């Protein structure tokens, strides 16, 4: 059973701080990794994708991937109250057809 | 691009009735996914299609659920007969190549 594990939170950080969200996965052959943001009552929205070891930065977001440790993280710098949402880690399953396994999500609260 | 279009946005039905959810994927996307989301179980993959062909329906809860994709621009998820435990938000998502998904706005189903 391929799994993606996340701490459900809630994770609470003050405005302006760095929020660190973590995710582990079980399938060693996974090649694609994603972070989605889901506001309450809305659909998930893709915010970051990463395919190789190391860091990938996009604005205030940095995704980090370590395939040897089977670990993915998302850092949000200068956190804003508008970043308050559930963040879903997703891992591409190596089965063709682009199936993705989602974690349960981490709820983030950014306090003003 | 209009994104992934789902209808209806909300559906309230009585137990035992047939429910049909509809999805129009983004043009050019060759994979389509049906997910169900509840507070207790998170995002569950029900079925996915690649080039209109069902690839994996192992997530379909039981025979009451069926899905079709008659062409590249339309898919349906049908529940017959519906039960109160089917109440959830149902998302359709599409993608092209090994990239992340674009989700529709979802259908909130309530079975009373």
**A8-21 residue pLDDT tens:** 889 999 999 999 99
HEC profile of B21-81: EEEECCCCCCEEEEEEEECCCEEEEEEEEECCEEEECCCCCCCCEEEEEEECCEEEEEECC
B94 shares contact with chain A (CB less than 8 Å): no
Cα A3 off chain centre by: 14
- Express each pLDDT in B36-89 by its tens digit: 999 888 899 999 999 999 998 989 988 999 999 999 999 999 999 999 999 999
Residue of A31, A98, A102 lying closest to B31 (CB–CB): A98
**Nearest in space to B111 (alpha carbons), one of B75, B85, B79:** B85
Residue of B55, B100, B105 lying closest to A49 (CB–CB): B100
At A95, the pLDDT band (50, 70, 90 cuts) reads low
């Amino acid at each position: 059973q391929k799994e993606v594990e996340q701490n459900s939170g809630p994770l609470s950080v003050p405005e302006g701080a760095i929020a660190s969200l973590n995710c582990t996965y079980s399938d060693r052959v996974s090649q694609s990794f994603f972070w989605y943001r889901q506001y309450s009552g809305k659909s998930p929205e893709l915010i970051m994708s990463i395919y190789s070891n190391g860091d990938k930065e996009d604005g205030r977001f940095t995704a980090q991937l370590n395939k040897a440790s089977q670990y993915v993280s998302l850092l949000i710098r200068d956190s804003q109250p508008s970043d308050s949402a559930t963040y879903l880690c997703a891992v591409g399953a190596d089965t063709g057809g682009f199936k993705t396994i989602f974690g349960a999500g981490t709820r983030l609260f950014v306090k003003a | 691009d209009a994104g992934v279009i789902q209808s209806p946005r909300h559906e309230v039905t009585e137990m035992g009735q047939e429910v049909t959810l509809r999805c129009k994927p983004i043009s050019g996307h060759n994979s389509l996914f049906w997910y169900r989301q509840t507070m207790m179980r998170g995002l569950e993959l029900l079925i996915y299609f690649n080039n209109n062909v069902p690839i994996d329906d192992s997530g379909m809860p039981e025979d009451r659920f069926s899905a079709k994709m008659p062409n590249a621009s339309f898919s349906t998820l049908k529940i017959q007969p519906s039960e109160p435990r089917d109440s959830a938000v149902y998302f359709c998502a599409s993608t092209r190549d090994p990239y992340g998904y674009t989700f529709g706005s979802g259908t909130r189903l309530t079975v009373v």
